[in-house]
Amino acid sequence: MSEKAFNPTELLICSASRLMPDNTTAFIGTGVPMLAASLAQKMHAPNLVTIFEFGGTGAILDDLPMAVGERRTFHKAVVASGIRDIVETAQRGFIEYGFLGGAQIDPFGNLNSTVIGDHDHPKVRLPGSGGANDVGSHCWQTIAIMRHDRRRFVEKVDFITTPGYLTGPGAREAAGLPPGTGPYRVVTTLAVMGYHPDTKRMMLLATQPGVTVEQVVENTGFQLVIPDDVERNQPPTEEELRILREEVDKDRLYI
């Protein structure tokens, strides 16, 4: 597969999809996470239990939903409940993965989707939390999906919409969040990052096809942890792209 045969959105979707294991539960947000979940169900995770904010649990994503409360998030679902039940399910520890986006992210995985600039007099007013705070607070492992540039990867977010590791080791637990939960991966157009087990700072794990470590560093507004061995992600396969284009998003609503 030629590295020029896919666009950045398709790369994000395929990279995120590969992080959705079979026989697991995943809280799915609007946009790229929905496409990634649908692709995962069709490729390698037929038993992925999708969970949507407005109550759809276990839906089969044959057709692409337009939003997290739309009827297709209940298609062939095992449960049709409501937002309070879903949040309680996360609080009880039954949701393994949570997929999130945001306008800003910092070295400890704190996400901002509320404002750019001062809260009371912002430069930009963003959509806000929705269920993002609950996802980041209670799902066992959260995965952020973002485009990668210095405006988004910042030393300090303007507002913490979704808690990551807050100020570092032990800070989540001190704030009353469940032990053992927290950020797991960050999937971007340039790389896939994780978090150092001791410092909880973001750590480069793999570069995307055609991207160098130097390019990742140049487009990150804080110091990344760079291990000795950085892997290189494989580009989307022909089968992934075929399913994505012909079955998941055949109307090209996102790609």
Active site residues: 53
Structure tokens at 204: 């480069």
Task: Tally Cβ neighbours within 10 Å of residue 130.
Answer: 15
Q: How far apart are CA 23 and CA 21, in angstroms?
A: 7
Dihedrals phi, psi of 182, to nearest 5 degrees = 145, 180
* Residues 100 and 29: beta-carbon distance below 8 Å: yes
Q: Are 88 and 16 in contact (CB under 8 A)?
A: no
- Strands (E) in 122-251, as ranges, are 122-125, 141-146, 182-188, 191-195, 202-207, 231-232
Residue 133: CB atoms within 10 A of its CB come to 19
Cα-to-chain-centroid distance, residue 109: 11
Closest by Cα among 178, 182, 174, 184 to 91: 178
